[in-house]
Amino acid sequence: MVVALHRPTKAIVRRSAIKHNVAAACAQLKAGTELFAVVKANAYGHGLVEVAKLTRAAGATGLCVAVLDEALELRRAGITGPILVLGIVDPEAVQLAADNDIAVPVAENSWLHAASQNLTGTKPLRVHLATDTGMGRIGFTDTAELQQAAAFMQDEPAKFTLAGIFTHFATADEVDDTQFKAQCARFNEFVAALPQRPRYVHVANTATSLWHDACHGNMVRFGVGIYGLNPSGRTIAHTPYALEPAMRIESALVMCKHVPAGTTVSYGATYVSAEDEFIGTVPMGYADGWLRRMQGATVLVDGHRCPIVGRVCMDQFMIRLPHAYPRGTKVTLVGRDGDDEITLQDVADFAGTIHYEIACCLSERVPRVYVD
């Protein structure tokens, strides 16, 4: 998708906030524990390469991504150090991962055997054993099968290096820790079943690192906290250090018009002005990630809350203004304007989702502008 540089819509990312959040997380680590920054999904919408560089500079020793292509993009950008792909990689692509020193997960023995057939180079493939302790996503569920995988790799040292073992928690961001504790116990059984402990033993996502001391791991996969977002939303308000939101989203009016009572706005004529009103047009729509369900949400103009009226279009949406404003007047979708502020959490609450989704939905068409 083309980046739309010649319109006022942009996502502004504060470098200092990202550095603060990572450095604060690193300062909480126990001796011998490393932090890997999770920069998948274009760094949760904040920009893959730029954020990866910032997190490494702030103390992250490694990086996590979701798909192999994200890892390859980091390597092309000259980023060194450990990179772990968290999602299953096609067995036919494992030689590419090995050649670029990219670690991948193994979740079942059939995948491991298929991968072995495709490893023909001089570098062994770094592998992390994925265990399913209650997430129901990927990973071994049987200790005997896990042991078979470890034995298979031990017999193929030219092809595989067992670098780690991990799991993922389903409820680390919730007050009730019953499921969390059950997953911890199950994971410890998996680790104990291995003939020796791998270099990396990791269970902690951002929520775990904030609120739990879990499973004797030595690596934290720090994700949404990088971006200054509370992984629990509003469920657990307290965090051991302040999280600084890194992103604001801004645009500007491209038109302001006075309309009489009875004027319809946008597709379906779902909005009809009740009286004489000023309607402003903002150049951002669902193709940019400002989803259609945002009709009725508010944005900030000159410190005023202005509702989105009518359906959000693909490339534009309309707002009701308190009075006329000139073309070019700033519109704040996420961030502070005057004495008021709209957060990603506020947007998520309105949309009935989580702030992760709002940030990740920002399309490539929206320029990312890095400041301070």
Could you tell me which residues are annotated as the binding site for substrate? Answer: 137, 314
Instruction: Tell me, rounded to whole angstroms, the distance of Cα 101 from its chain centroid.
Output: 23
Three-state DSSP class for 50? helix
How many CB atoms lie under 10 A from the CB of residue 192?
9
Among 13, 11, 8, 4, which residue's Cα sits nearest to residue 329? 8
What are residue 370's DSSP bridge partners?
A: 13
- Given the residues 19, 40, 53, 159, the one annotated as active site: 40
Among 133, 135, 167, 131, which residue's Cα sits nearest to residue 149? 131
Residue with tokens 């980023």: 79
- Given the residues 30, 181, 257, 267, the one annotated as active site: 267
For residues 290 and 312, give the distance between their C-alpha atoms in angstroms, rounded to a whole number. 8
Three-state DSSP class for 321? strand
Say whether 30 is catalytic. no
For residues 64 and 52, give the distance between their C-alpha atoms in angstroms, rounded to a whole number. 10
Say whether 40 is catalytic. yes
For residues 273 and 63, give the distance between their C-alpha atoms in angstroms, rounded to a whole number. 51
Contact criterion met (CB below 8 Å) for 93 and 119: no
For residues 337 and 300, give the distance between their C-alpha atoms in angstroms, rounded to a whole number. 6
Q: Which two tokens stand for residue 202?
A: 């990791």
Cite the annotated binding site by residue number.
Answer: 137, 314
Q: Which residues are catalytic?
A: 40, 267
